[in-house]
A = this chain, B = another copy of it.
Amino acid sequence: MLVSRERRRGTLLAVGITALMAATLMTPTIAMAADDGATDITENGGATRNTEDRTAAVREALVDGPAKNVILLIGDGMGDSEITVARNYAEGASGAFAGIDALPLTGSYTTYSLREDGTANYASESASTASAWSTGTKAINGQLSIDINGVAQATLLELAKANGMRTGDVSTAEIQDATPGAQISHISQRGCYGPDKTSANCASEALENGGLGSISEQLLNLRPDVTLGGGSASFTQTAKAGPWEGATLFEQAADRGYQVVDDAEGLAGVTAADQNAPLLGLFTPGNFPVRWQGPEATVGGGDAAPTACTENPERLDTGLSLGSLTQKAIELLDNDNGFFLQVEGASIDKQNHAANACAQIGETVDLDEATQVALAYAQQNQDTLVVVTADHAHTSQIVGSTPPGLSVNLQTVEGGSMIVSYGTAEAGGSQQHTGSQVRVAGYGPGAANLLGLTDQTDLFFTSAGALELNRDLKSLSADATISASAAEVAPGATVTVSVDGLDADWQASVASDAAAAKLAAASSPQRDVLSGRAEFTVTAPTEVGTHSVTVTGAQTGVVLTTDITVTETPTTPAPTDPADGGAGALPGGQGGAGAGGGLAITGAAVPYVLLAIAVAMIAVGGYTIHRRRMI
C-alpha cells in the first residue's frame, strides 16, 4: 500500500497552480480591494465580486485527481444563512471571508437522514449527517457510522489509515461529539462518550458486553495520528473490560503510546506525531469556550439599538484557536504518504441552538481562519483537496423587522444594523436544525465533484475517490505475513511472533492451539497494530510437537498462522529476553506499547472482546461487495 501511494504521488499531474491561484482562488479577496481602491456599492458595478470573465480561471481550477491529501472543514450548522449572518457582521455585506468564500468550486448538497423505517427524515442532526459524509451511508439521527441495521460502516479516517495515510480529527467540541465522533466510532447513541454512559445507555455496545466500546475507547483503538479538541472529562472514566479494565482512559492512552497534552504549551512542544506516538490533545473537559459573546436574543430584541459583539474572556489561548489547531495538525500530518484531516467548527451549531448570534458568528470567523490555513497549505501543496461545508442548516435568519420570536439587533463591522431571528423554539429552548440543502465548496483535485446538486453521501465518494482509497478493508490486510523468531524451540522457551502488512487492522490478537488452560491467567493477547505491524511474545508449551500460532486482525478478521515446533534439540535458539528484539522486532518503541509488559501467552482462543470487534468490523469490509457506486 505504501508503495502504491508513493507511486501515485510520483505521477501527479503538474498543474499550473500558480496561475490558478492568481486567477481563481485569490480573486475574491483581490476583487474586494482592487481597482480604484475604495469600492462604492452604490455605483454601477460597485458591488460586484468579479471583475472579468472567469471561464478560463474556473477551467484551470478543475484539477483531476488523485489528491494526495484531503482536508475537510465542517461548519456545524453552517447553512447559507449562517454564512451570510457571519459575513455581514464580520466582513460587511459586500465583504468576503478570505477562507470560506475563496473556494472556487461550489455546489449544494442535501442533508436528510433516515427514519428507523428506512424512509427519509427531512430534519437531520449532526450524528446522522456526519455519518453520511464519513461513510457514504445514510444514518438514523443520533447514530454514528452504522447503517440502518446497526452494521458499522468504514469511515474516511479509517480508510485513509488503512491505506497508509496519516489521519487527523480536530474539533472545537468534545472530540466524542457527533462530527468528530463519526470518523472514529460506530455506535447507536452519539452520547455514549465514555465507559460510564456506554454501560448505561449503549449497553450492548459496551466493552463488557462484547461491543466496540465507548466513542473514546474506539478512538484509542483507531489511533489517529492527531486528535485535537475538547472532551477530556470522558477520559477520566475507567474501562470496564478489556486489556485496560480498571484504568482510566488517560492511563490507557499513555500506556498505548499516545502523547497526551492539555494546553497550548504542551501542544507547542509536540514536534512529531505518528502511529508510534500519536497526539491526543484534549484542552477542555467539555466543548471549547466560544470566541465572541454579545446580546441575548429575546422576544422583541430586534427593536433594541444595534450592539456589537465582544471577545469572550473565557476563550482559550489563541494557540488553541481552530486555525492554530489546524495549522499544527497539518504540520504534524504532512508526509510522503498523504493525510486525511477533518476539522470542525462545532459551536456555530451549538450557539445557534442557544440563539446566541455573536457566539455563532465568532465560531464562523474561527472556521474561516482554519479554512485560510488549509488553503494556504493547499496553495503550496497542489495535490491537496480542501472542502468546506456544513452538516446541516440551522435556525438563524436575517430579517428586516423584529419577528415574533427571539431576535437580536447587531451592529456590524460596517456600522449597519442586522436583525437576526431565531424562530424555531421558545426562549430557553433549543433552536432547531433546519432541513435546507447547504453549500459545499472545494479547491483542488476532485473538487469538481462538488458542483451542482449532490447529496452529503457524495462527499464520502468524492473524498475517497480523490484519494483513490482502496475501500475493501479486508483486501488491505490480505497480503499480511507472519513470522516467528524461531521455528524450533526448547520447551517453555520464549518466541517472538511478528505480523506485517495488516494495514486495515488497528489491533490484532494472538492465539495457539496448545495449552489453552494457561490463557485464563495470562494478560491480554491483544496488541495495537502500528502501520500494519505487531509483535507478540509467546512462551512455548512444554510438550514437544508442532503447534500452530495464529494472529487475527481485529478489524478485518484476517487470520495468519505459523507453526512452532517444540523440541528438546532446537536448531535455532530462542532469545531469552524479549527486550533484545527478535527478528520481527519493530523500530520505534513498539516494545513498550503493549499492555502489561511481555506476555506469557501459550495459546488458546481470542477472548470474547476481540472476537466481537472482529465480527463487527468484518461487516465494515463487507459492504464493498454490495456497493452501488463505483469510484
Contacts and interface: CB of A to CB of B under 8 A. Distances in A.
B630 A52 contact: yes
A455 B400 CA distance: 19
A242 interface: no
A398 B124 CA distance: 10
Interface string A37-66: 001111111111111111110110011110
A219 B236 CA distance: 74
B414 A119 contact: yes
Interface stretch (A338-346, A416-424, A541-549): A416-424
Give the one of A40, A79, A106 with max B CB within 10 A: A106
A426 B452 contact: no
B454 A48 contact: yes
Number of copies: 2
Nearest to A35: B628
A397 B436 contact: yes
A433 interface: yes
Contacts of A40: 118, 628
Contacts of A119: 414-416
A96 interface: yes
Interface in A88-125: 88, 92-94, 96, 101-108, 110, 112, 114-115, 118-123, 125
Interface residues on A, range: 35 or more
A458 B513 CA distance: 74
A384 to B, nearest CB: 16
A432 interface: yes
Contacts of A85: 435
Interface in A400-420: 400-401, 403-405, 412, 414-416, 418-419
Given A49-B110, A119-B416, A399-B433, 4 more contacts: A80-B393, A81-B393, A119-B415, A397-B424
Interface of A: 24, 28, 35-36, 39-56, 58-59, 62-65, 79-81, 83-85, 87-88, 92-94, 96, 101-108, 110, 112, 114-115, 118-123, 125, 132, 135-138, 147-148, 153, 393, 395, 397-401, 403-405, 412, 414-416, 418-419, 421, 423-426, 432-439, 441, 446, 448-449, 451-458, 461, 465, 623, 626-631
